[in-house]
Amino acid sequence: MAHQLLKGKKGIIFGALDENSIAWKTALKIKEEGGSFVLTNAPIAMRMGKINELAKACDAEIVPADATSEQDLQNLFTKAMEILGGKLDFVLHSIGMSPNIRKEKPYGDMNYDWYLKTIDISALSFHKVLQTAEKLDAMNEYGSFVALSYIAAQRSYPDYTDMAQAKAMLESIARSYGARYGRLKKVRVNTISQSPTKTTAGAGISGFDVFFDYAQLMSPLGNATAEDCANYITVMFSDFTKMVTMQNLMHDGGFSSTGITEDLIERLTK
Ligand SMILES: NC(=O)c1ccc[n+]([C@@H]2O[C@H](COP(=O)([O-])OP(=O)(O)OC[C@H]3O[C@@H](n4cnc5c(N)ncnc54)[C@H](O)[C@@H]3O)[C@@H](O)[C@H]2O)c1
């Protein structure tokens, strides 16, 4: 049931690749809640993905941008304000990619050029997005930025390799830029740390099915789905969370506060 939580609000959504993407589900939810937006993704991903389908369903325009390119980001924010007719209220950064993970490099044999690429795409791009928005004075007061993180920022996970450092940096950027942007323009910056979710990025990590099942057993509410995440992001873009900033918000069915569950004890009891 829609509540028109985002009626009149305008924004940019990064990272909708296909119908499993968290950004895809979020776009549909924001549309349902009365918001309007420009969709964007890296030019190469747009050729492989299905973003045109989503744009049609949401009556949204697409402006391609590689999130690591300052020039692309300037063009994106400028065009988004033109298309939507004014300053913006929300930006979703739903971007992650590690060439080392893609090529299944173990943590003791990292390719450092790829490592830097992981950091650039998955973390530094968030700073670039924020800095571009600030320089173009693109946000309304109490505008809200959300980027998506994972608990590997705080805990070790085999096979998450250099993405763990990228997520730790992403969360740190949200705190540091949130302090600056809040004081300057009353703009909010947060990360949401999401449960393992079956998407292209998620399934690319080896052993994903096992840690998906483990997290399911270790979360009193079970794993949060992409749809649940879309709902939470929508609330974070609404005026009901106006005073929330500089936070890493756990969205994980209770996983991060759990020592062990009865479900896991049962599973491990011989
Ligand atoms: N799936 C999970 O288990 C999970 C859990 C926690 C957090 N996350 C995070 O959620 C976010 C979204 O991932 P998803 O799971 O929806 O997967 P996804 O693969 O659908 O989305 C990742 C997106 O990043 C985009 N991207 C990659 N390089 C880019 C670039 N240079 N410029 C612009 N866009 C670029 C891709 O095109 C894709 O659309 C990521 O930050 C991911 O790390 C995912």
- Count CB-CB contacts under 10 A for residue 220: 12
Exposure b/e, 221-243, CB count within 10 A at least 16 = b = ebbbbbebbbbbbbebbbeebee
Kindly state whether residue 42 falls inside one of the protein's structural domains: yes
Q: Which two tokens stand for residue 45?
A: 């991903």
Which CATH number do you get for residue 64? Answer: 3.40.50.720
Is 80 within a domain?
yes
Beta bridge partners of 40: 14
Residue 188 maps to a domain: yes
Average pLDDT over residues 4-12: 98
Tell me what pLDDT residue 188 has.
98
- Structural domain contains residue 108: yes
What domain range includes position 67? 10-268
Cβ–ligand 1 contact at 191 (below 6 Å): no
Q: Whose alpha carbon is nearest atom 22 of ligand 1? A: 95
Task: Indicate the number of domains in the chain.
Answer: 1
Residue of 62, 4, 58 lying closest to 26 (CA atoms) = 58
In a domain, 3, yes or no: no
What CA–CA distance (Å, rounded) separates 89 from 142?
7
Its pTM stands at 0.98
Q: Is 15 in the pocket of ligand 1 (CB under 6 A)?
A: yes
Residue 1 domain-assigned (yes or no): no
The model's pLDDT over 131-152, given as tens digits with 9 standing for 90+, comes to 999 999 999 999 999 999 999 9
Q: What is the per-residue DSSP string for 161-190?
A: HHHHHHHHHHHHHHHHHHHHHHHHH--EEE
Across the chain, mean pLDDT equals 96
Residue 4 in any domain: the answer is no
Pocket test for ligand 1, best of 199, 209, 227 (most atoms within 8 A of CB): 199
Q: Is residue 2 one of the residues assigned to a domain?
A: no
CB of residue 67 inside a 6 A radius of ligand 1: yes
